[in-house]
Chain A
Amino acid sequence: SQKIEQNSEALNIQEGKTATLTCNYTNYSPAYLQWYRQDPGRGPVFLLLIRENEKEKRKERLKVTFDTTLKQSLFHITASQPADSATYLCALGMDSNYQLIWGAGTKLIIKP
C-alpha cells in the first residue's frame, strides 16, 4: 500500500543544536517533495521544494536531502532556535497533477 510516514512523536532538541526530521514513503515515485511548517491555529507555510534529480537543497538555516533509492527525505534545521518550534509537514508531488500527498507531520520543540 502507499503511505508517507513522519515521526509521530514530538522531537525535543536543545537550542543551538541541529534538528533532523525524517519523511519516508513507500510505493510512490514523486517528482518532487516539499516541506511545510505549521504553527498551532494556522495553515501550513511552504518552506522548501526538492526535485527527484536533486540531492540537497539549502535555504538559510534549512537543508533538505532527497534520496529516491531509500525513498526518504531529511529536513535539517541548524543552529535551532525556540522560534523554530512548530509542526513540520512533508508532501509529495506527482509531477503536476496539482495534488500533494501529505504526511501527518512531526512536532518539533526547541528548548532554550
Chain B
Amino acid sequence: SAVISQKPSRDICQRGTSLTIQCQVDSQVTMMFWYRQQPGQSLTLIATANQGSEATYESGFVIDKFPISRPNLTFSTLTVSNMSPEDSSIYLCSADIGQRNTDTQYFGPGTRLTVL
C-alpha cells in the first residue's frame, strides 16, 4: 500500500483565478492520475501523469485549463486555471501501486474546491 497526501484539503477561490493542487506519494510510482468527482457522481478521469512525459488528457479536458506537472516519481501537481463556478468539485489524485496487471489505485484524501 501507499500513503498519498494532497494539499490543500479545501479552498474557496474567486472566479478567474488559478489553484494548484499538490499530490505527494510516499513511494516511487510510475502512473499517477487526476480525477474530478461531483457529489454523488462517479469519478471522472482528467488526465494520466507519467514522470518524464507530457500528461495524457481525457476527452473534455485540455492542458491549458488543467496543466499538470510530474517532476519526479513521488510528486505531481494539477492546476485549475481561470476558474469558474463550474469548476467547483472534489479533485482527487491517485497512484497505480498495484501488482502487474491489476492497476490497483491508491487515492489521496481529495481537495474540495469551491469557486465563487
Contact = CB atoms under 8 A, between A and B. Distances in A.
10 contacts: A41-B112, A43-B94, A45-B107, A49-B98, A49-B104, A98-B48, A99-B33, A99-B48, A99-B103, A102-B43
Interface stretch (A57-65, A66-74, A89-97): A89-97
A104 interface: yes
Interface in B64-108: 92, 94, 96, 98, 100-108
Nearest to B1: A46
Interface of B: 4, 31, 33, 40-43, 45, 48, 92, 94, 96, 98, 100-110, 112
A43 B110 contact: yes
A41 to B, nearest CB: 7
B110 A41 contact: yes
Nearest to A96: B101
Interface in A1-39: 31-32, 34
Contacts, number: 54
A98 B42 contact: no
Contacts of B33: 99
B103 A96 contact: yes
Interface of A: 31-32, 34, 41-46, 49, 89, 93, 95-96, 98-100, 102-105
B103 A42 contact: no
Contacts of A96: 100-101, 103
Given A43-B94, A43-B107, A43-B109, A104 B102 contact: no
Contacts of A34: 103-104
Nearest to B4: A43
Contacts of B42: 89, 102-105
A99 B106 CA distance: 13
